[in-house]
Amino acid sequence: MSPAIAAKEGGRQRRAGSHHHHHCLDVRSEAPPALALCGDGLPGGEAEVLLPPERRARGYRAELGSILLLLVLYVLQGIPLGLAGSVPLILQSKSASYTDQAFFSFVFWPFSLKLLWAPLVDAVYLRGFGRRKSWLVPTQYVLGVFMIYMSTQVDMLLGDGEGRAPDVVALTVTFFLFEFLAATQDIAVDGWALTMLSRENVGYASTCNSVGQTAGYFLGNVLFLALESSSFCNKYLRFQPQPQGIVTLSDFLFFWGTVFLITTTLVALLKKENKELIPTKEETKGITDTYRLLFSIIKMPAVLTFCLLILTAKVSKYIYKLLGADDVRISKATKSL
Give the residue-averaged pLDDT of 248-261. 96
pLDDT digits (tens, 9 = 90+) for 7-27: 444 444 444 444 444 443 444
> Under the phi-then-psi rule, with left for phi > 0, alpha for psi from -120 to 50, and beta for the rest, what region is 95?
left
The identity of residue 167, as a single letter, is D
- In this predicted structure, the answer to whether residue 139 has a pLDDT above a threshold of 60 is yes
CA distances from 300 to 201, 269, 306, 313 (A): 34, 44, 10, 20
**191 neighbors 122 (Cβ within 8 angstroms):** yes
pLDDT the model gives residue 329: 47
CA distances from 157 to 91, 176, 182 (A): 11, 14, 21
- In this predicted structure, the answer to whether residue 251 has a pLDDT above a threshold of 80 is yes
Q: Measure the CA–CA gap between 311 and 315, rounded to whole angstroms.
A: 8
Q: Domain 61-274 belongs to what topology? A: Growth Hormone; Chain: A; (1.20.1250)
Q: Measure the CA–CA gap between 166 and 279, rounded to whole angstroms.
A: 49
pLDDT the model gives residue 62: 81
What does the mean pLDDT of the chain come to? 78
Please list the helix, strand and coil fractions of the chain in percent, rounded to the nearest 5, in that order: 75, 0, 25
- In this predicted structure, the answer to whether residue 222 has a pLDDT above a threshold of 60 is yes
Residue spans of the domains in the chain: they are 61-274
Q: Measure the CA–CA gap between 29 and 106, rounded to whole angstroms.
A: 70
pLDDT the model gives residue 59: 72
pLDDT the model gives residue 146: 96
pTM of the model: 0.72
pLDDT the model gives residue 41: 45
Tell me which residue of 189, 84, 169, 181 sits closest to 142, measured CA to CA.
181
